[in-house]
Amino acid sequence: MRITPLNRKLFRDLLAMKGQAIAIAMVVASGVAVYVMYMATFTSLQRTQQAYYQRQRFADVFASAKRAPLRVVNELAAIPDVSVVEPRVVSTVTLDLPAFEEPASARLVSIPVNRRPLVNDLYLRRGRWIEAGRPDEVIASEGFVLANNLNPGDRVPAVINGRLRHLTIVGVALSPEYVYTIRPGEMVPDDKRYGIFWMDEQALAAAFDMEGGFNDVAIGLAPGVAPDAVIDRVDRILEPYGGLGAIPRALQLSNWTVQNELNQMQTFGVLLPVIFMTVAAFILNVALTRALALQRPQIAALKALGYTNRAIGWHYLKWAFVIGLVGVVIGTAGGASLGSAIIDMYNSFFRFPTLLFGVPLHVVVESLALTFAAAGAGAFTAVRRAVAVPPAEAMRPEAPPRYRRSFLETPLIARQLGTAGRMVIRNIARHPLRAAASVFGIGFAVAILMIGFVFNGAIDRLIVTQFWEAERQDVTISYVEPHSSTAQYALARLPGVMAVEPQRSVAARIRSGYHDRYLAISGVSPTQRFRRIVDREGRAIRMPPAGVVLSLTLANVLEIKPGDMVTLEVLEGHRPVRTLEVTGIVDDIMGLSAYMDISALHEMMHEGNVANGALLLIDSAHEAELASTLKATPAVAGAAFKRAVLQSFRDVMASNMSLSILINLIFAGIIAFGVVYNAARVSLSERSRELASLRVLGFTRAEISLILMGELALLTLVALPVGGVFGWGLAASMVHTIDSEVYRFPIFVTRQAVAMSFLGIIVAACVSGLIVRRKLDQLDLVAVLKIRE
Amino acid sequence: MGEVEVHALRQVNLRLDEGKFVVLLGPSGSGKSTLLNIIGGLDVPTSGDVIYRDTSLTHADEAALTSYRREHVGFVFQFYNLIPSLTAVENVALVTEISESPMDPSEALKLVNLGERQDHFPAQLSGGEQQRVAIARAIAKRPAVLLCDEPTGALDISTGVIVLEALERVNAELGTTTVVITHNAAIASMADRVIRLADGRVVSVEDRTDKVPPRDLSW
């Protein structure tokens, strides 16, 4: 292939401005990398999820009840659009793992012995299916097995309905129902202390007095059917049997979590690349405008030689596209490696048979399109302006720049400024759009860096609010069944227990108009000291004696305000239904929660001083002793030690946050460097003659550097607070997408977050400034005496 | 003030005396720019000696040359090289700010008859006016040597004359040793001494006693 002279010129011109071209290409590459990272991860995760759900027949509707007879299965199967019904016995038991002081727990889920489940089929990774006549055989979830270094053949002691039994792991499996496994009520998964055991349905039914019945059901629907009508029917059928409300697949915890992650990736995957590309377009515009000003005589010559405006315009647009193309290549490679790091991280949270990372072709094509759009937009005005000049005019040098005193120069300020200061101010005032573009670009670098730190601060705040201000107990105990206050005295006598506070909560459906949610209503006593209702600032809220207090998220879901009425349908005991006034709304960090005064709750339930859990304050010296006692206490369904919960929370967050902060740091650094470097090079190019003249007049290198760098320093300085505002806005919009019915993220912009992000950007700006400063040393002093610009 | 003695170019032996108005005359390529660069401290000779007063500049480093230019030399360029973002008076102040005992910038502009125009930006001034600002900027620090490289090269005759008058006045009133480099032989008539260069050699040195005022020059 013959390379045309114009293309040869293209490559040589680009080579001559390689520093700037690389800086711009790197900003483009960052945008592409973010896009590829999120979109490729999104596609990989979504495809894996869909294939997995389909192959393992993930159920569409989930429901549980206290105890329903097996004949109800026929009623459920008769609901129109229901294709399969799989009744199950499900229960949570305490495990006595020798490695841990505090008790671990497992969710036992029944499976048939002689066939595969009709829905939620297991993916058997290792070992074999359970065999008939061996009631202690279980298949264990992979996460739990890996975290605890277990193998098929190992035995795990479990307290099942008050009796210690040794369960034998015969297989290791995954389930579409437990892609994400988390102990109910906790914020992060802990594979070491919580697992799923699938067990012979007859053995499980026998252990929990469920023979001839079930307490959980998974339902498959005909393809493409909306679950709402079925859910209503299921609720009605199960109501007499203590039905706890059916939920669609969308609200099933594991699926909801994966789906939420997918949604976030999609949002970030569009938002962030657009920001990066906008910055890239801006700096490309600035760089090209200057480069084309220098090309003015060449453009005139090309025109004189008979090249059309279109040909010349295309020639210069290609500059932008070549730079963009380099960015796409680097960005795709970078995005692929970051994406595979994210998939690695997902593989530690989400259990799929295989979750492999790949970059689909459409993602590359889309990023190419995005890049060309940005490059074209950035180059367009610059190229049009340069090409539009008539050849005769282009032959002459450009008219000298017109300067004015800037409006900032009141006599008082002018005196303070000094001559160098005035030069800086007037140069900025002469190119206000360019200055704005630089401020915008650097500002976004600040914002991107800030997000990481803001989220870190938010997590610290979350920990303080949740673990210290709202929950001040050391151990949270849940009972298998509600107990009278005698249980609390029994707990008080256990080793190391210093104080006990009983807890009462009931499962309920809360309804207002068309909106409803299933949740636990917590009883709050006025004398309660350990668990308090606190808002997102950590302020305790006083519980009114009557009515119900809702979290803001719940109030928003139900579309109600204080003073409105809501209907409670309690799903336990004699299943009372009450209409209550909303006497308070708390703007807290958690998702859906509702509180009632403890006496009012007891009264509603027609019960005495009953509790279904307890909060303990303990002497940490006796923690081990207490933990092993609790493990052997049949009435205790679970015990969460704050120290351990907090530890796993911190571990999970630390590993996630450090990865994302690192990624943000790299990208913010590239943007800040790219913007400042580009601005510095353009400035240097325009003013090299001026600066060289000053050198001849006896100014030192340091003095002329100050003039050049002063402008950049000023722009950076202005960009910092602007970036702070951008960062806050960006964090707010991201938090908005993360906010869910499970928890809310407080935006907490700490002084440290601001300082760290400002510092990061200042360092990046200084580095690029110093690189450009070295160019100042190469100024040709003699040439300026002779050459007219 | 002592003597400015220069050994430059090929076997060039040159002496610039205090307070004199010297014209270095020569065609393009005669080596006059190289000579000016060496006198001005922009360059050092590969061999030979450059002595300013009692100090040798022969082996001066970058920093020493910078401070020599800063303290002792005033430059006037062919294309003025004013800072476009600064007004006339600010362009002068640029230099006075870094000098030991400068003139008042307005005084310097008055000396070149531009007192009225001091708040104008370069783009608002004619070529001749810009060059006079450049002269004011060069002399405002009271340099020992004023080096002018083709100061009228970009100007027409009448504005060129006004610029030369400004140089003459500075030389007369401040006693600044002035070196004007030009290929315009007419300017030689206003000099105390005319040094002719060709092919990198001094071909003649002429001391004049009948200086002609600039307005009577003809080219």
CB contact at 8 A, A510 and A558: yes
- The helix (H) or strand (E) run that includes residue A657 is helix A642-696
Residues on chain B touching A400 (C-beta within 8 angstroms): 84, 122-123
Q: What tokens does B14 get?
A: 């040159």
Name residues whose C-beta falls within 8 Å of residue A407's C-beta, 6 or more positions apart in sequence. A429
Q: Who among B66, B79, B121 is closest to A403 (CB)? A: B121
Residues on chain B touching A423 (C-beta within 8 angstroms): 83, 85-86
- A138 C-beta neighbours (distance < 10 Å), count: 29
Rounded to whole angstroms, the Cα distance separating A359 from A328 reads 13
- When pLDDT is averaged across residues A162-173 and rounded to a whole number, the result is 91
Residue B145, judged by CB atoms within 10 A of its CB (0-12, 13-18, 19+), counts as buried
Task: Name the closest residue on chain A to residue B74, using Cα atoms.
Answer: A697
Which residue in A705, A707, A785 has the most chain B C-beta atoms within 10 A of its own C-beta, making it the best mutation to test that interface? Answer: A785
Q: How far does A687 lie from chain B, in Å, by closest CA?
A: 9
* DSSP category for residue A470: I
Look-up of token digits 């920990």: A463
Rounded to whole angstroms, the Cα distance separating B42 from B39 reads 8
Residues on chain A touching B77 (C-beta within 8 angstroms): 693, 696, 784-785
DSSP states along B102-144: PPPHHHHHHHTT-GGGTT--GGGS-HHHHHHHHHHHHHTT--S
Rounded to whole angstroms, the Cα distance separating A754 from A450 reads 7
Residue B184, judged by CB atoms within 10 A of its CB (0-12, 13-18, 19+), counts as middle
E strand map for A444-557 = 475-483, 497-503, 505-512, 515-524, 548-551
Domain boundaries along the sequence of chain A: 59-256, 469-642
Instruction: Convert the pLDDT of each residue in A477-517 to its tens digit.
Output: 888 788 887 888 888 899 889 999 989 999 898 999 888 88
pLDDT level of residue B7 (50, 70, 90 thresholds): very low
* Interface check A426 vs B, CB under 8 A: yes
* DSSP category for residue B50: E
Instruction: Convert the pLDDT of each residue in A526-550 to its tens digit.
Output: 877 888 888 877 788 888 888 999 9
Instruction: Convert the pLDDT of each residue in B165-194 to its tens digit.
Output: 989 988 988 889 999 999 888 899 999 999
Rounded to whole angstroms, the Cα distance separating A375 from A371 reads 6
Q: How far does B196 lie from chain A, in Å, by closest CA?
A: 20
pTM exceeds 0.90, yes or no: no
Q: Give residue A193's identity as a one-letter amino acid code.
A: R
Return phi, psi of residue A221, to 5°. Answer: -105, 165
Rounded to whole angstroms, the Cα distance separating A205 from A211 reads 5
Residues on chain B touching A689 (C-beta within 8 angstroms): 81
Q: Who among B42, B78, B83 is closest to A690 (CB)? A: B83
CB contact at 8 A, B66 and A700: yes
Beta A104-111 vs A194-200: how paired, if at all? parallel
* Interface check A774 vs B, CB under 8 A: no
3-state per-residue secondary structure call for A252-312: CHHHHHHHHHHHHHHHHHHHHHHHHHHHHHHHHHHHHHHHHHHCHHHHHHHHHCCCCHHHH
Cβ pair B97:A695 closer than 8 A:
no
Task: Name the closest residue on chain B to residue A422, using Cα atoms.
Answer: B86
Cβ pair A785:B77 closer than 8 A:
yes
C-alpha distances (whole Å) from B201 to each of B7, B194, B208, B212 are: 11, 14, 20, 27
- pLDDT of A300 reads 81
- pLDDT of B6 reads 47
Which residue in B78, B83, B124 has the most chain A C-beta atoms within 10 A of its own C-beta, making it the best mutation to test that interface? Answer: B83
Higher pLDDT, A185 or A189: A189
Q: What tokens does A223 get?
A: 């393809």
- pLDDT of A166 reads 93
Alpha helices by DSSP H, listed for A350-431, are 361-388, 391-395, 411-430
- When pLDDT is averaged across residues A25-32 and rounded to a whole number, the result is 94
CB contact at 8 A, A626 and A475: yes
Instruction: Convert the pLDDT of each residue in B118-169 to its tens digit.
Output: 999 888 999 889 999 999 999 898 899 999 988 888 888 888 898 899 899 8
pLDDT level of residue A362 (50, 70, 90 thresholds): very high
Whether A705 has a pLDDT exceeding 50, the answer reads yes
Rounded to whole angstroms, the Cα distance separating A230 from A61 reads 8
C-alpha distances (whole Å) from B1 to each of A550, A750, B55, B58 are: 92, 65, 13, 20
Q: What tokens does A11 get?
A: 């490559």
- pLDDT of A583 reads 92
- pLDDT of A408 reads 65
Residues on chain B touching A786 (C-beta within 8 angstroms): 33, 78, 149
Rounded to whole angstroms, the Cα distance separating B81 from A694 reads 9
- Spatial CA neighbour of A68 closest among A235, A192, A222, A196: A235
Beta bridge partners of A113: none
- pLDDT of A186 reads 76
C-alpha distances (whole Å) from A236 to each of A65, A78, A269 are: 12, 13, 42
Which range has the top average pLDDT, A29-38, A179-188, A746-755, B67-76?
Answer: A29-38
Instruction: Convert the pLDDT of each residue in A714-754 to its tens digit.
Output: 999 999 999 999 998 888 887 777 666 666 766 778 888 89
C-alpha distances (whole Å) from A160 to each of A208, A481, A632, B181 are: 8, 14, 11, 106
- Spatial CA neighbour of A574 closest among A511, A519, A508, A639: A508
Cβ pair B154:A689 closer than 8 A:
no
Rounded to whole angstroms, the Cα distance separating B121 from B90 reads 9
Q: Which domains does chain B have, with CATH numbers?
A: 4-211 (3.40.50.300)
Share of chain A above pLDDT 90, in %: 41
Q: Who among A402, A419, A786 is closest to B86 (CB)? A: A419
- Spatial CA neighbour of A668 closest among A737, A746, A756: A756
Residues on chain B touching A784 (C-beta within 8 angstroms): 77, 81
* Interface check A401 vs B, CB under 8 A: yes
Task: Name the closest residue on chain A to residue B77, using Cα atoms.
Answer: A785
* Interface check A422 vs B, CB under 8 A: yes
- pLDDT of A743 reads 66
Beta bridge partners of A169: A138
Cβ pair A419:B122 closer than 8 A:
no
Rounded to whole angstroms, the Cα distance separating A570 from A573 reads 8
Cβ pair B71:A423 closer than 8 A:
no
